[in-house]
Amino acid sequence: MILSFHPCIDAHAQVILGVRTLDSSDLKWVRKADAIILPQTCPQDLYEACSGSGALVFPNYETRFKYPGKIGQSLLFGDLDLPHPETFCWGTVKDFEEAYPGWDPLPHTLPFFVKEDMSHEAEAVFLVEGRTSLIDALDHLALRERSGLYGFVSQAYIPCDANVLRTVIMGKRVITYWKRPNKQGQVITTISRGAIIDNDWRPDLQEKGKAHAMALAEGTGINLAAIDFLFPLSDKDPEPLFLEINYYFGRRGLGGIEKYYSLLFEAVRGWLEDAGIDPGAISLV
């Protein structure tokens, strides 16, 4: 029996949780299921209940919850010996200030980035170019701590001319495209801030990023995520550096929401086929 918690994928049984949590009737369906399809925004308690039931679960979010946030991803890249920008993890602003009293020296060569642990799509990302910008970043983080939110990373700046390669893992398929700056001198590039989507630029580097994303997927079981890479473009033959993993990501670079759901549906069908389960039991609604 296939159980779907995804609002756009119907199966033998479909449960739409919305904002509520699992109840006893939901858990009965979970215990009956051979395969469970979860929403992309799946909370940890729902994932643990389903993955602990013995059923097959899509997407595979083991890595997401084992290595949460930017701090967790930095540890993941280190544990797997994956190339990534030099990154230091900080529990509090006080930890940073005690490690670098007077800010002389600093953890990285100027400029460098300071990023909130749980931020996404370049939110709460600060470019530190000197004392003033570092004060602004740490003041923001200190205010955040007063509301109970802790943790940030400092990260080396990579001279990539603000070009970011996005690789999207959809089941066994990896789709690549560039997020490129829309104005000269731009440092932080995101689609939400008007980045140019480019499918054609530097196909050689796209292939390198794709190979690294596929290796990560094979090593971790990740089957639904967007991995961003940076390339030090001043190098003669630049190699990809893992920047971050986004488990909930925008759809515009994939061709829009309808294209995204078509790709997702095919990924789920392929996952079921590989498991020996009839994919004809699910439909896109």
Q: Give DSSP secondary structure letters for 230-277.
A: E--TTSSS---EEEEEESS--SGGGTSHHHHHHHHHHHHHHHHHHTT-
- Which residues have C-beta within 8 Å of that of residue 184, sequence separation ≥ 6? none
Exposed (0-12), middle (13-18) or buried (19+): which is 18, by Cβ within 10 Å?
Answer: exposed
pLDDT value at residue 122: 62
Spatial CA neighbour of 224 closest among 274, 260, 258: 260
What's the average pLDDT block by block, 10 residues per block, for the chain (285 residues)?
A: 97 93 94 97 96 97 97 97 98 96 91 91 85 96 95 96 96 97 79 84 98 97 98 96 94 94 98 97 96
Angle 154-160-166 from CA coordinates, rounded to 5°: 85
- Max Cα-Cα span within the chain: 64
φ/ψ of 193, rounded to 5, equals -105, 20
Give the separation between CA 122 and CA 115, rounded to whole angstroms: 8
pTM comes to 0.94
pLDDT value at residue 104: 83
Strand (E) or helix (H) holding 153: strand 152-156
Exposed (0-12), middle (13-18) or buried (19+): which is 104, by Cβ within 10 Å?
Answer: exposed
Spatial CA neighbour of 143 closest among 92, 85, 212: 92
pLDDT value at residue 247: 96
Strand (E) or helix (H) holding 35: strand 35-37
Instruction: Please report which residue ranges of the chain form alpha helices under DSSP H.
Output: 24-32, 44-51, 62-66, 69-79, 93-99, 131-146, 203-220, 257-274
Chain center to CA of 183: 25
Tokens of 190: 């995101």
Among all chains, which residue has been given the structure tokens 């949590």?
21
Give the separation between CA 188 and CA 145, rounded to whole angstroms: 24
